[in-house]
Amino acid sequence: MSNTFLYFSYGSNLFSKRIHINNPTAIKKTTAQLKNYRLDFNTFSKNWKGASATIVPTEGFNVWGVVWEIDNSNLPCLDKQEGVADNIYFPLKVSVKTPEGQILDCRSYQQCNNPEKHINLKLLPEERQPSPQYLNVILKGARENHLPTDYIQFLESISHNGYNGEIDQSLAPHGV
């Protein structure tokens, strides 16, 4: 029986400094692609001051992210960070494909209230826009982990809400 689990992150937990705040045992294994899901933003986070990321099953779309190997002792911290007890996110098992073609079964998180309608992320309504700070953390992680250039350009094109106040990232939930 393994003492670790694989976690597919696609939001702020792409960034190594962010994942290690609540999950100090996390070790990057690889980057990977989640097929037939789209990245979206929906639920407002008081700590991030904007909408947080989610994945929504959608044929023909793909989400890039990082696979972390995490000690089982950190699982309660990860669930708490993702707001599982508060019904913000729920854990789910996803199969992701590495650049080498390997399929990995991972834990990930999806918002309980996903947006039903797909909207171009350049045109998100204000209530679904992330804060620039949250988006910047996602971009730092994407660049740090060398996600594909076209995916980084896609992330750079996402509308944000323009909030420029302070954010306490050590307290901010919704790391996916």
Determine the Cα–Cα distance for residues 90 and 163; give it in Å rounded to an integer: 27
Residues assigned a catalytic role: 82
Q: ∠172-175-176 over CA atoms, to 5°?
A: 160
**In whole angstroms, how far apart are CA 32 and each of 13, 38, 79, 122?**
14, 14, 21, 24
Where on the phi/psi map is residue 60: left (φ > 0), alpha (ψ -120 to 50), or beta? Answer: left
